Amino acid sequence: MKLFYASGASSLAPHILLEESGLQYSVEKVNLDKKTWNGGNYNLINPKSYVPALQTDNGKVLTECAVILEYIAIKAGNNKFIAKYDSSEYWQQRIWLNYIASELHKNFISPFRKGNWLPNTKESKKLVYKRVFPRLKFVDQKLNKQNYLVNNTFSAPDTYLFVMTNWLHRLNFGFTNLDNLKRFDTEMRKRPAVQTILKQEGLPHSLQDES
């Protein structure tokens, strides 16, 4: 499998899960500003122009972070990262994958950003925080002193949630009144796979105010 990623983007989630899984994979870094990668025009890989994209063993390309995470989890086997289909645990994991994608991920992406995917002006940061804080507070309450989202056991949705808490750091929003999310973020950063991938990806693009 080949993962197309950009440092610090939502592709961080499948990058971590691939490392956790022990599956064989390679990565290709994408320049999201120029829409290029080492092989040329990234839009020929993913016409949506964003990451992640995962080229599977049969050459097909999957897109959308939640879908790619479930695919990797299933490929890993043993119900380790996603529970057996149709179990109550499976549906809880699916709910979280979709909630993070639709309610957190998309609300972090300000329509008023300039030149980057995350907000990088004072006005856009205020707008994003107003949108995401109630949703983050909901997740914080659901964690209820657990380290992970479902049955206090690491699974695929946790990698996606970690991208969101990592963005809190990048945007200097902090974790005020989000104690459970802060603990979650701390626990995730202790995982060897997380440490490895953060080091490999390096620093993401700057989020300096471009107003």
Give 135-174 pLDDT, tens digit per residue.
999 999 999 989 999 999 999 999 999 999 999 999 999 9
Q: 82: pLDDT confidence band, cut at 50, 70 and 90?
A: very high
What's the pLDDT score for residue 178? 98
- Please give the class, per CATH, of domain 2-79+197-201: alpha beta
0.75 exceeded by pTM: yes
Q: Where in the chain is the domain with CATH 3.40.30.10?
A: 2-79+197-201
d(C-alpha 93, C-alpha 85), whole Å:
11
Q: Where do the CATH 1.20.1050.10 domains begin and end in the chain?
A: 88-191
- pLDDT tier for residue 116 given thresholds of 50, 70 and 90: confident
The residue written with tokens 């972070």 in the block is 65
Give the CATH fold of the 88-191 domain.
Glutathione S-transferase Yfyf (Class Pi); Chain A, domain 2 (1.20.1050)
Rounded Cα gap, residues 167 and 113, in angstroms = 15
The mean per-residue pLDDT over the stretch 73-93 comes to: 97
Edge-first strand listing for the sheet containing 26-29: 26-29, 2-5, 53-55, 61-63
The average pLDDT across 42-51 equals 96
For the chain, the average pLDDT equals: 95
